[in-house]
Amino acid sequence: MAQVFSEIRERRDEFGRLRHVPKEFITRLKKLGVFRAATPACFGGSGLAPTAFLQLVEKISEADGSVGWIASFGSASVYLAALPKSTQAKLYADSPDLVFAGGLFPIQPATQVEGGWTVSGTWKFASGCKGADMLGVGIGAAVPGQAGSKPRTAVLPPSQVEIVDNWDVMGLAGTGSHDLRVTQQFVADEWTFIRGGVPTIDEPLYRYPTIAYAAQVLGVVNLGIARAAIDEIANMAGGRVAITGAPKLADRSYVRIEVAKAEALLRSARAFLYDATDEVWQSILAGNPVTPEQVSLLRLTAVEVARAGNQIVQSMFGLAGTTAIYSSHPLQRYLRDAAVVKQHAFLGEGIYDGAGAVALGVPPMPGFL
């Protein structure tokens, strides 16, 4: 595993230039077990507990945020579990190491026909689409009130989807989050599911809240990036005296204070994430239904670790001074990547409002639970 992390660090500039992680490296991640972590055990998956998977994504993100982001989609089988079991048997027939990527928004109208849907449209932010084995797109009924009008995800092979190569961004460049375009493709009912819908697999992992989990695996990327940023300052601290003659970083009290604060913030955010995740997981293993309060707590952990990680990276960038303004400096990468993680819709400030509403016993924003 250490060898893979080392290779990620060596190749992260390459992944950024390519604007995606190549399939041959996705195969390396498959061998790590990343993409069977959430595959049902009945189809050869490892059924990895949420904490163990989050820790894996965090460690990969320490080497590179983009690769960590791609690895996070190893959790996708949690919502694919809402597909009919017979469909999942076909999905995993060749291997439990399935890479699924989706451009799920904006929801595009689809025409319901006999046995399925006619799908057309363009979708954004399909992270990892160039290395995916199957792709998903978000659809809804073309006619309001039509049967099956609840938004769904349609699952298609890559051969039926065009990747619009337009991922040109400030951070997480290696995620390859290009647009997807589908033109008049028929998707059978059994290859569609309601995201966050009732799973057809009866295993503990599929009782864990799906949307909350989807947010957690993204937010945890910033914990890995934050660790890398703190370590970078530590490596710089004993270096040369500044060109102005100022003391080494380690000899400056304000640097020592900020590094200590960053370490405390990082460890506090990690403890919150993993304590809450373990608490809900143990409750699920005990056979208890998941409560709205638990869903809210998990969503709160996701937005909080994303915020804390971003704050830490900004602080470490500031400590580095002019050294970090060069585009080749690692803190440049960490700064941009952490900022993009925080921009994700699942990790926005509105999540605090939803969690606060649940805590105070008032209705949260639609879709929060």
What's the pLDDT score for residue 54? 98
First to last CA, the chain: 36
Tell me how far apart the alpha carbons of residues 283 and 316 are, in angstroms, rounded to a whole number: 38
Q: Check: CB of residue 337 under 8 Å from CB of residue 218.
A: no
CA 84 to each of CA 189, 310, 320, 337: distance values in angstroms, whole numbers, following the listed order: 10, 39, 53, 37
What's the pTM? 0.95
What's the pLDDT score for residue 320? 95
Q: Check: CB of residue 72 under 8 Å from CB of residue 175.
A: no
Q: Check: CB of residue 72 under 8 Å from CB of residue 130.
A: no
Give phi and psi for 96, each to the nearest 5: -80, -10
- In sequence order, the 6+-apart residues with CB closer than 8 A to the CB of 179 are 103, 122, 123, 124, 125, 126, 163, 164, 166
Q: Check: CB of residue 269 under 8 Å from CB of residue 305.
A: yes
Tell me how far apart the alpha carbons of residues 63 and 107 are, in angstroms, rounded to a whole number: 34
Helix (H) or strand (E) segment spanning residue 118: strand 116-126
Tell me how far apart the alpha carbons of residues 234 and 211 are, in angstroms, rounded to a whole number: 36
Return the structure tokens found at 152: 């769904």
What's the pLDDT score for residue 47? 85
pLDDT in tens, the chain (369 residues): 789 999 999 999 999 999 999 999 999 999 999 999 999 999 999 989 999 999 999 999 999 999 999 999 999 999 899 999 999 999 999 999 999 999 989 999 999 999 999 999 999 999 999 999 999 999 997 655 555 567 899 999 999 999 999 999 999 999 999 999 999 999 999 999 998 789 999 999 999 999 999 999 999 999 999 999 999 999 998 766 555 667 899 999 999 999 999 999 999 999 999 999 999 999 999 999 999 999 999 999 999 999 999 999 999 999 999 999 999 999 999 999 999 999 999 999 999 999 999 999 999 998 898
Tell me how far apart the alpha carbons of residues 217 and 97 are, in angstroms, rounded to a whole number: 18
What's the pLDDT score for residue 244? 60
